[in-house]
C-alpha cells in the first residue's frame, strides 16, 4: 500500500520544554518522521525553547541522539537527518521573566503558521501564553498545543482554561491526548459511520456491554511523587478512557466536522450517571520479592492513591440506557494492552445446542500493541463430526493490511500535523475537559471522604480480585488480558 500524505503550509514550531523527556522521546522524533516522509515543507523551522543555556549545535546534537534512539533504522539516513537538524535552532527562555523573549520574537516569521507547543508543567501554561501575547509573538495565525494533565479537578481545569483564554481564542487551543491520534481510534469512527453493517446494531438492544481496558506492565518508579498526587483515576480515566468511551458511545455527527464531533462527545459526558461506591474498585500493586510495591515506588508508606481502578459506568440516553460500560486501567499488570471490546448479545433463539461452541459476537478494537480490530463470528468446525460450532476472528491487523514495508505513524505525528493544518477534530475542547472533571470529581471526593484503602494486587496479575467480581455479579467476565474471551 502506498502511503498518501497531505502537504501542509510552512510553519514555525516553537517547542517549549525542548530538553524534556517527552520532547526527546516523542515530539522531535515524530517531526523527523514527517520530514522523512516529505510532509514537512522545506522552509519549515523548529525552535527549541527551555531554561537550559544551550547552543544551536548542542541542541542539534541532542536531536540526533533522540532520532538515533527512537526512530527505526529504516528511516535513519545521514542526509535526511542533516537536512532536518539544520531546520532546528534553540533559544533559552525564562518562562516568567524577560530573558529570551525578544530573541524569540525575532526568530519566528509573521508570514508562517506559528505553533507553540507547551511540553511543560501545567503551572507554566498561563505564564507562557501571557508572555507570547505581551511580546507580540502570538497572532491570529497562531496555534497553541498543551499536554495533559489539564487540571487535577474541575476548579483547576477552569483556572487553566481561563488563563489560556486570556491570551488565545478557543479555536487556537489544541489540548492533546495522544490516544486520539492512534490509527485504531480513528478507525472506530470509520467502522461505525462508514459501514451500514454496524451502526444499526450499535445500541442497547443488540450490545450487552462494552469493556475499555488500558493495562500497563510498568510501575510508577521514577515518577512516584507525581503519580501519588494523581492516581489512575486522574491520570488515565478522566482523559484517555473518557475519550475512548465518548467515541464508542457518541451519536453520529451531521458531518465530520471538529466542533460537531466534539459536541456529540460532550453530550455523552453529560449523560454519564453518577457512579456509586459499589461500582468502583481501586487497587495498589504490592511487592513481589523482585520489584518494590507501589508505596515503595511512591516513597509514601501511608499512600491511599490507586495504581489500578475499575468502574461500571451507565449512560442515561436512549441508545445506551441498559448497556453498562466497564472501564479498567492499572500499572504492573500481566500485559501491556489497550483495547475496546464491544460485546454483542446472544442470539434471541439458538437452534444449536448451547454447548456446541457458539458464543456471542464481539468486536475488539486494539489500540496497542498490534493496532487493529477483529470481529468474532461463529462457524461450523470443519470435519464430519456433526454440527460442532467454533468462534473464529475476522482479523484486521493494520501492520499486515498495510504491508510489512510500511510503518504505522506514531500518534504524535498525526496530531502535530493536524495542529499545523488547523484541524481540531482529535483535540479536546475546553467545555469537554470541564464536563469530564465535573463527572470525575464526585467519585474521587467520595472515596477520599470515606478514606477507602485500595485493594492490594499482585504484580503481573489482572488486578485485584474485587475487580473481577465487579463483572461476575452481573453474570459477565472481563476479557482475558492474554487475548482470550
Q: What are phi and psi of 218, to 5 degrees?
A: -80, 160
Closest CA to 451 of 249, 302, 317: 302
Query: Which residue is it, cell 510500511?
Result: 406
| Residue 124: CB atoms within 10 Å | 15
Separation between Cα atoms, residue 463 and residue 230, nearest integer Å: 19
Q: Are 431 and 304 in contact, with CB atoms under 8 Å apart?
A: no
Lookup: cell for 372: 487493529
Q: DSSP assignment, residue 323?
A: -
Find the catalytic residue in 36, 178, 240, 455: 240
- CA dist list (Å): 484 to 184, 189, 360, 376, 481: 20, 25, 14, 11, 7
Separation between Cα atoms, residue 61 and residue 78, nearest integer Å: 13
Q: Are 328 and 310 in contact, with CB atoms under 8 Å apart?
A: yes
Q: DSSP assignment, residue 272?
A: B
Q: Give the helix/strand (H/E) hosting 330.
A: strand 325-330
H helix count then E strand count, the chain: 17, 15
User: Quick one: 176 exposed, middle or buried, by C-beta within 10 A (0-12, 13-18, 19+)?
Assistant: buried
| Residue 106: CB atoms within 10 Å | 9
Separation between Cα atoms, residue 302 and residue 292, nearest integer Å: 15
Annotated catalytic, 240?
Answer: yes
Residue-wise DSSP of 378-420: EEEPSSSSSS-EEEEEEEEEHHHHH-TT--PPPHHHHHHHHHH
Known catalytic residues are 240
Amino acid at each position: 500500500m502506498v502511503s498518501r500524505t497531505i502537504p501542509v503550509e510552512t510553519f514555525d514550531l516553537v517547542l517549549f520544554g525542548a530538553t524534556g523527556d517527552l520532547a526527546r522521546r516523542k515530539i522531535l522524533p515524530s517531526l523527523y518522521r514527517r520530514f522523512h516522509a516529505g510532509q514537512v515543507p522545506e522552509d519549515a523551522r523548529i525552535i527549541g525553547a527551555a531554561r537550559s543555556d544551550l547552543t544551536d549545535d548542542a541542541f542539534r546534537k541532542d536531536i540526533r541522539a533522540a532520532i538515533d534512539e527512537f526512530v527505526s533504522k529504516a528511516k535513519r539516513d545521514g542526509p535526511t537527518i542533516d537536512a532536518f537538524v539544520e531546520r532546528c535552532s534553540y533559544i533559552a527562555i525564562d518562562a516568567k521573566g524577560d530573558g529570551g523573549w525578544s530573541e524569540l520574537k525575532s526568530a519566528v516569521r509573521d508570514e508562517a503558521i506559528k505553533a507553540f507547543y507547551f511540553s511543560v508543567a501545567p503551572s507554566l501554561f498561563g505564564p507562557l501564553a501571557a508572555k507570547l501575547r505581551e511580546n507580540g509573538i502570538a497572532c491570529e495565525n497562531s496555534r497553541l498545543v498543551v499536554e495533559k494533565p489539564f487540571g487535577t479537578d474541575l476548579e483547576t481545569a477552569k483556572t487553566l482554561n481561563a488563563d489560556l483564554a486570556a491570551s488565545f481564542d478557543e479555536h487556537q487551543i489544541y489540548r492533546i491526548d495522544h490516544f486520539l491520534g492512534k490509527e485504531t481510534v480513528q478507525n472506530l469512527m470509520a467502522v461505525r459511520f462508514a459501514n451500514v453493517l454496524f451502526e444499526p446494531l450499535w445500541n442497547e438492544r443488540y450490545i450487552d456491554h462494552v469493556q475499555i481496558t488500558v493495562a500497563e506492565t510498568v510501575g510508577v518508579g521514577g515518577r512516584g511523587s507525581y503519580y501519588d498526587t494523581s492516581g489512575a483515576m486522574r491520570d488515565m480515566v478522566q482523559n484517555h478512557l473518557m475519550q475512548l468511551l465518548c467515541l464508542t458511545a457518541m451519536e453520529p455527527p451531521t458531518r465530520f466536522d471538529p466542533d460537531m464531533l466534539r459536541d456529540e462527545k460532550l453530550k455523552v459526558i453529560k449523560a454519564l450517571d453518577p457512579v456509586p461506591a459499589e461500582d468502583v474498585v481501586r487497587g495498589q500493586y504490592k511487592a513481589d520479592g523482585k520489584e518494590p510495591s507501589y508505596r515503595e515506588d511512591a516513597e509514601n508508606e501511608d499512600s491511599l492513591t490507586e495504581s489500578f481502578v475499575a468502574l461500571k459506568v451507565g449512560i442515561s440516553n436512549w441508545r445506551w440506557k441498559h448497556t453498562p460500560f466497564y472501564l479498567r486501567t492499572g500499572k504492573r499488570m500481566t500485559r501491556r494492552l489497550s483495547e475496546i471490546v464491544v460485546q454483542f448479545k446472544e442470539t434471541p433463539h439458538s437452534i444449536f445446542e448451547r454447548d456446541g461452541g457458539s458464543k456471542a459476537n464481539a468486536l475488539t478494537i486494539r489500540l496497542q500493541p498490534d493496532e487493529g480490530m477483529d470481529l468474532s463470528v461463529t462457524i461450523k468446525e470443519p470435519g464430519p463430526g456433526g454440527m460442532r460450532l467454533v468462534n473464529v476472528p475476522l482479523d484486521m491487523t493494520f501492520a499486515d493490511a498495510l504491508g510489512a514495508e510500511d510503518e504505522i505513524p506514531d500518534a504524535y505525528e498525526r496530531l502535530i500535523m493536524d495542529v499545523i493544518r488547523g484541524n481540531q477534530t482529535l483535540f479536546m475542547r475546553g467545555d469537554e475537559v470541564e464536563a469530564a472533571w465535573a463527572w470525575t470529581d464526585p467519585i474521587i471526593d467520595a472515596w477520599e471522604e470515606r478514606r477507602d484503602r485500595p485493594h492490594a494486587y499482585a504484580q503481573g496479575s489482572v488486578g485485584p480480585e474485587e475487580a473481577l467480581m465487579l463483572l461476575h455479579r452481573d453474570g459477565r467476565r472481563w476479557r482475558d488480558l492474554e487475548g482470550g474471551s
